[in-house]
């Protein structure tokens, strides 16, 4: 009788099961001070090598990007407020983003405890937008901050999307003598622009 | 069947220490620094100990219902378009992966870090069959280019100096041998790997956690290499050990809060990625792997090692590991966790690992999921001792010690003789086969004139006329 | 208060002064001390190597020696830990269980049982580093482990602070293992030696003139290394400091 590997493994597991333990208590948020979420988010992000900026309009956002990346020729954006030089559409082959200097996306919310932002396949349109460009800019509504990862997971519901990422700081490595270097394989820099969702810039500038 | 030779960690460690005055002290300092960072991060979470306890309970509960959770994971993953395969052992895992690639004409694969894939010997298997596999985690890539296994599960090349890496990169990727600036070296590898990412026909990852309730799996990196790989070629294959199952999404909050703080002292890895289905027009496969895990589940003393979330905190705190280097353990699982997983995988090959420890217990205290590592190391010593897996000479020495220590008369005689020898002929004693392991590195204490017992009988019971 | 004096095998053989200090200290504090003359060892050498059968021999002698005592006190955190936590090669009779529960290390006996408030007979006007041994910290809980997030305490330090003139020297790695580890000192080779030297230098770097500990085994290992590496520091067991000798 040939048993499939699936059946074999499940049978072995069942034969070796330890005594059942009670379900663990609920993983609740520990709470903590409800205020100063923006400040805590900013300092956590900074500790991981990211930077944050407060802007008040789409125009200011575009200007800030130009200020941070003056030499950028191609700015690929999936964010509604920032037109960029290249709109990221559904059917773009991700390899086509290889020459992009700056990727722009709007995140759904941020996490004060860790300085992370939550972005999904729906936000990115093309997942590679957050990884292949040399630099990444994320727009985030400062009113959309949760305290900690417990609250974050309740809100994110990662099972509902094929891809979702808590992104905190630029790509980094410490593999060489423990020295932290940014831009290991992914983006060299991460800038978060704190801006409520709003209209587009209508002054024609990038 | 040829048996793998026994790994001798003490000898390998001695070589690591003896190579120069740079490598071992630097390794010790770097990893202690991570322990210090871990402590600081833990202090910042006032409910830290409660969180560890909760994580331990989540893991233990899961192991008690592992079959049901595995089926639930498979059901939910398949509903989301993920193809789920089951592999009994390393060989089957490799064949499944190869078949997936061969059927789609894939010859170039990029992969992010997976201890499981290394455990299965996947890369040599695929490369023998014409598929090129490129590690994209910088530390793993360094080790791949150098033909060495990883020296630490989180920082695979932490035993190397920048000069070592500069020489290696010059040889393998054509960078400047004279430039050992970590920024330059990282940039050189970034450019080299970027070509591989763009040319890849498939991406492989491991998984830190797999959520039964949703069929999603989680990959945590700081480089973003898993995400970059997964976002380019249309085919993603993830190898997941059956012990990685977590019941619900909410449990990720606990484990993610502990993982990076324990590993590196930062509150989260820079990329915590959740995969719950293929990209548009793409394919996603998960290979669930047993390879001895169900057997380990059935061992009451050792099953709790399956709680491990591969954070490496035990390695960072272990002074034996810090002074030995990870390669001394002869296994991809090194340090304290390696000392208890190794013998479970191959009792003979790794029989010395549990003895390469002082049983100091620090590992048990830093483990975020409360694996009782130190207790399991002692338990392995008992198993190995009873099963005659310890060297004959040592077994005999221990038995002799037991006989001496079990007899007041014999112990007194041995003590007196030893003291006389120490007083009269310390050099002979020092050079003896029994004591030279001690005296190779330490001086012997001076011999007291009387043992405590003799002093007591003389001074407190007025036995004789011994001079003070 | 009556207690049986437990003298570890290597203390009996190589460092009787530690046993003498322990005996005198207990007597100063009004304890009626008996010394079972035929005791041998706690059984740790075979036990920590996994040889339960051999360990049982020593364990039997231990229980026999101390079965009649209300309390058992010894100057070794490592041996006391072995008795309390690992004396399990024997069948666990009532006698065995009672002896295990009644065994104390000298510092914890002074701190928790006798609740010593002062040590007026002793003076030690020197800079002293305390080696917080693994057995003392993670074994029998005399001090809070640095890995665990919780309130800090250290019973050995509490007692040392009562010694006139003594200056406690803070070090970098407060409870890192010294590398003795029983037979690891023989099998661990260069690793054991490097760990020991790291501990010695941590103290020396911070200006310690003396290093003390609750474990003679650690001190033997550290002293042997300090001597070989010509480090200028002296070693003394905590019982000797608290008793004011013998040195």
Q: Higher pLDDT residue, A203 or B213?
A: B213
Find the mean pLDDT for residues A96-102: 97
Q: Higher pLDDT residue, B411 or B193?
A: B193
**Which domains does chain C carry?**
2-113 (3.40.50), 127-243 (3.40.50)
pLDDT (0 to 100) of residue A202: 36
pLDDT (0 to 100) of residue B44: 94
The answer to whether B229 and B113 have CB atoms below 8 angstroms apart is no
Find the mean pLDDT for residues C106-121: 97
CB-CB neighbours of B281 under 10 Å: 8
Cross-chain Cβ contact B442/C146 below 8 Å: no
Question: What is the Rg, in whole angstroms, of the alpha carbon atoms belonging to chain B?
Answer: 26
The answer to whether A189 and A51 have CB atoms below 8 angstroms apart is yes
Cross-chain Cβ contact C49/B49 below 8 Å: no
Residues B158, B154: Cα–Cα separation, whole Å: 9
Nearest to B82 by CA among B231, B217, B203, B219: B217
In tens, the pLDDT along A119-130 reads 999 999 999 999
Average pLDDT, chain B: 94
Average pLDDT, chain A: 92
What torsion do the CA atoms of B341, B345, B349, B355 make, to the nearest 10 degrees? 20
B396 — pLDDT class (breaks 50, 70, 90): confident
Find the mean pLDDT for residues B245-266: 97
Q: CA angle, C226 as apex, C225 and C228 as ends, to 5°? A: 60
Cross-chain Cβ contact B405/C13 below 8 Å: no
Question: Does an interface of 3+ CB pairs under 8 Å exist between B and A?
Answer: yes
Of A19, A22, A48, the CB nearest to B270: A48
Nearest to C42 by CA among C96, C6, C93: C6
Q: How many CA atoms lie within 13 A of B88 on its CB side?
A: 9
Find the mean pLDDT for residues B178-206: 98
Smallest CA–CA separation between A105 and chain B, in Å? 15
Nearest to B163 by CA among B184, B190, B141: B184
pLDDT (0 to 100) of residue C30: 96
The answer on pLDDT for B53 being more than 90 is yes
Q: Which pair of tokens denotes residue B438? A: 């001690």
Average pLDDT, chain C: 95
Residues A18, A20: Cα–Cα separation, whole Å: 6
Find the mean pLDDT for residues A153-167: 97
Q: How far is CA C157 from CA B80, B360, C152, C202, C240, in A?
A: 60, 20, 11, 18, 15
In tens, the pLDDT along C231-245 reads 999 999 999 999 998
Report yes or no: C138 at the B interface, CB cutoff 8 Å.
yes
| Tokens 């999404």 found at | B249
How many inter-chain contacts (A to B, CB under 8 Å) are there?
A: 266
pLDDT (0 to 100) of residue B464: 46
The answer on pLDDT for B407 being more than 90 is no
Q: Which residues of B touch A173 (CB under 8 A)?
A: 138-139, 186, 222-223
Written in H, E and C, the secondary structure of chain A is CCCCHHHHHHHHHHHCCCCCCCCCCCCCCCCCCCCCHHHHHHHHHHHCCCEEEECCCHHHHHHHHHHHCCCCCCEEECCCCCCCCEECCCCCCHHHHCCCCEEEEECCEEECCCCEEEEEHHHHCCHHHHCCCCEEEEEECCCCEECCHHHHHHHHCHHHCCEEEEECCCCEECCCCCCCEECCCCCCEEEEEECCCCCCCCCCCC
Q: Which residues on neighbouring strands pair with residue C39, listed in sequence order?
A: none
Residues A79, A55: Cα–Cα separation, whole Å: 15
Nearest to B288 by CA among B143, B77, B456, B453: B77
| Tokens 């430039």 found at | B179
Residue in chain A nearest B150 by alpha carbon: A175
Report yes or no: C245 at the B interface, CB cutoff 8 Å.
no
Q: Which residues of B touch A108 (CB under 8 A)?
A: none
Residues B313, B370: Cα–Cα separation, whole Å: 12
A2 — pLDDT class (breaks 50, 70, 90): low
Smallest CA–CA separation between A81 and chain B, in Å? 24
Residue in chain B nearest A149 by alpha carbon: B253
Q: Which residues of A touch B58 (CB under 8 A)?
A: 24, 27
Percent of chain B surpassing pLDDT 90: 84
Report yes or no: C10 at the B interface, CB cutoff 8 Å.
no
**Which domains does chain B carry?**
45-291 (3.40.50.10420), 412-462 (no CATH)
Question: Does an interface of 3+ CB pairs under 8 Å exist between C and B?
Answer: yes
The answer on pLDDT for A34 being more than 80 is no
Q: Which residues of C touch B17 (CB under 8 A)?
A: 190-191, 194
In tens, the pLDDT along C34-43 reads 999 999 888 8
Smallest CA–CA separation between B189 and chain C, in Å? 34
* ipTM attached to this prediction: 0.95
Q: Which residues of C touch B437 (CB under 8 A)?
A: 185-187, 189
- Phi/psi at C73 (5° precision): -125, 135
What one-character-per-residue DSSP string does B425-446 give? -HHHHHHSTTTHHHHTTSPPPP
Q: Which residues on neighbouring strands pair with residue A166, listed in sequence order?
A: A118, B272
Cross-chain Cβ contact B441/C228 below 8 Å: yes
Mean pLDDT lowest among B20-34, B172-186, B454-468: B454-468
Find the mean pLDDT for residues B426-455: 87
CB-CB neighbours of C132 under 10 Å: 29
Residues B23, B164: Cα–Cα separation, whole Å: 10
Nearest to B274 by CA among B290, B255, B294: B255
pLDDT (0 to 100) of residue A1: 52
Cross-chain Cβ contact C57/B402 below 8 Å: yes
A115's CB contacts (< 8 A; 6+ apart) are A41, A42, A43, A44, A45, A46, A47, A48, A50, A168, A169, B267, B268
B417 — pLDDT class (breaks 50, 70, 90): confident
Q: How far is CA A63 from CA A86, B294, C137, in A?
A: 16, 58, 58
Q: Which residues of C touch B19 (CB under 8 A)?
A: none
- Phi/psi at B400 (5° precision): -65, -45
Question: What is the Rg, in whole angstroms, of the alpha carbon atoms belonging to chain C?
Answer: 17
Question: What is the Rg, in whole angstroms, of the alpha carbon atoms belonging to chain A?
Answer: 21
Percent of chain C surpassing pLDDT 90: 87
């Amino acid at each position: 009788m040939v048993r499939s590997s699936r059946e074999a493994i499940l049978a072995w597991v069942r034969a070796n099961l330890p005594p059942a333990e009670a379900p663990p208590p609920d993983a609740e948020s520990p709470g903590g001070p409800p205020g100063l979420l923006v400040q805590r988010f900013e300092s956590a992000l900074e500790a991981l090598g990211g930077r944050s900026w407060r802007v008040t309009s789409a125009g200011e956002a575009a200007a800030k990007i130009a200020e941070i990346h003056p030499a950028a020729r191609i700015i690929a954006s999936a964010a509604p407020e920032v037109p960029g030089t290249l709109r990221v559409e559904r059917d773009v082959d991700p390899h086509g983003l290889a020459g992009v200097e700056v990727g722009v996306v709007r995140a759904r919310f941020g996490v004060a405890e860790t300085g992370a932002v939550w972005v999904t396949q729906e936000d990115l349109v093309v997942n590679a937008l957050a990884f292949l460009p040399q630099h990444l800019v994320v727009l985030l509504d400062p009113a959309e901050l949760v305290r900690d990862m417990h609250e974050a997971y309740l809100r994110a519901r990662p099972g509902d999307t094929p891809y979702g990422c808590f992104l905190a700081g630029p790509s980094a490595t410490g593999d060489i003598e423990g020295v932290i270097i940014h831009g290991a394989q992914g983006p060299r820099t991460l800038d978060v622009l704190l801006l409520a969702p709003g209209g587009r810039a209508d002054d024609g500038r990038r | 069947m040829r048996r793998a030779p026994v790994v001798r960690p003490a000898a390998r460690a001695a070589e690591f220490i003896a190579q120069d005055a740079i490598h071992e002290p630097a390794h010790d300092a770097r990893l202690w620094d991570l322990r210090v960072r871990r402590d600081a991060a833990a202090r910042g979470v006032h409910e830290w100990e409660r969180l560890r306890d909760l994580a331990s309970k989540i893991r233990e509960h899961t192991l008690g219902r592992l079959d049901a959770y595995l089926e639930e994971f498979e059901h939910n993953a398949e509903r989301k378009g993920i193809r789920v395969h089951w592999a009994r052992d390393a060989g089957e895992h490799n064949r499944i992966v190869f078949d997936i690639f061969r059927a789609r004409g894939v010859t170039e694969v990029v992969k992010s870090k997976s201890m499981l894939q290394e455990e299965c010997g996947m890369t040599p298997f695929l490369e023998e069959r014409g598929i090129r596999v490129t590690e994209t985690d910088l530390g793993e890539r360094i080790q791949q280019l150098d033909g060495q296994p990883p020296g630490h599960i989180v920082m695979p090349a932490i035993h190397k100096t920048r000069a070592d890496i500069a020489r290696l990169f010059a040889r393998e990727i054509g960078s400047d041998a004279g430039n050992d600036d970590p920024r330059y070296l990282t940039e050189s590898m970034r450019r080299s790997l970027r070509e591989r990412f763009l040319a890849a026909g498939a991406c492989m990852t491991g998984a830190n956690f797999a959520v039964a309730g949703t069929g999603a799996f989680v990959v945590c990196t700081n480089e973003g290499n898993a995400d970059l790989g997964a976002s380019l070629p249309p085919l993603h294959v993830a190898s997941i050990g059956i012990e990685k199952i977590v019941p619900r999404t909410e449990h990720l909050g606990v484990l993610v809060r502990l993982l990076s703080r324990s590993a590196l002292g930062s509150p989260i890895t820079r990329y915590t990625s959740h995969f719950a289905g293929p990209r548009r027009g793409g394919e996603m496969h998960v290979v669930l792997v047993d390879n001895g895990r169900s057997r380990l589940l059935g061992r009451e003393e050792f099953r709790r090692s399956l709680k491990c979330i591969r954070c490496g905190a035990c390695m960072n705190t272990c002074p034996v590991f810090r002074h030995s280097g990870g390669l001394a353990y002869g296994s991809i699982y090194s340090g304290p966790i390696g000392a208890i997983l190794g013998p479970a995988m191959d009792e003979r090959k790794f029989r010395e690992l549990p003895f390469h420890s002082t049983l100091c217990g620090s590992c048990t205290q830093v483990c975020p999921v409360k694996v009782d590592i130190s207790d399991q190391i002692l338990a392995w010593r008992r198993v190995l001792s009873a099963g005659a897996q310890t060297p004959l000479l040592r077994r005999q020495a221990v038995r002799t010690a037991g006989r001496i220590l079990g007899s007041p008369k014999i112990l007194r005689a041995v003590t007196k003789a030893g003291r006389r020898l120490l007083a009269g002929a310390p050099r002979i004693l020092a050079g003896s086969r029994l004591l030279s392991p001690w005296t190779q590195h330490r001086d012997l204490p001076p011999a007291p004139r009387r043992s405590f017992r003799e002093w007591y009988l003389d001074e407190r019971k007025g036995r004789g006329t011994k001079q003070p | 208060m009556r207690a049986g004096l437990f003298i570890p095998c290597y203390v009996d053989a190589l460092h009787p002064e530690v046993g003498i200090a322990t005996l005198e200290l207990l007597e100063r504090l009004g304890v009626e001390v008996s010394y079972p003359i035929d005791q041998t060892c706690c059984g740790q050498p075979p036990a920590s190597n996994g040889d339960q059968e051999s360990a049982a021999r020593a364990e039997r002698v231990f229980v026999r020696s101390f079965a009649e005592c209300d309390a058992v006190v010894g100057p070794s955190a490592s041996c006391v830990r072995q008795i309390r936590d690992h004396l399990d090669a024997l069948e666990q009779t009532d006698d065995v269980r009672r002896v295990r529960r009644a065994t104390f290390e000298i510092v914890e006996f002074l701190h928790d049982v006798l609740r010593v408030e002062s040590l007026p007979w002793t003076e030690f006007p020197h800079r002293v580093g305390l080696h917080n041994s693994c057995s003392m910290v993670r074994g029998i809980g005399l001090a809070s482990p640095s890995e665990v997030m919780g309130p800090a305490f250290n019973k050995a330090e509490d007692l040392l602070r009562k010694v006139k003139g003594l200056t406690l020297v803070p070090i970098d790695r407060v409870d890192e293992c010294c590398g003795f580890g029983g037979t690891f000192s023989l099998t661990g080779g260069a690793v054991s030696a490097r760990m020991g030297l790291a501990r010695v230098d941590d103290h020396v770097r911070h200006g310690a003139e003396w290093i003390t500990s609750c474990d003679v085994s650690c001190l033997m290992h550290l002293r042997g290394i300090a001597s070989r590496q010509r480090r200028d520091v002296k070693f003394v067991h905590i019982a000797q400091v608290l008793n004011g000798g013998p040195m």
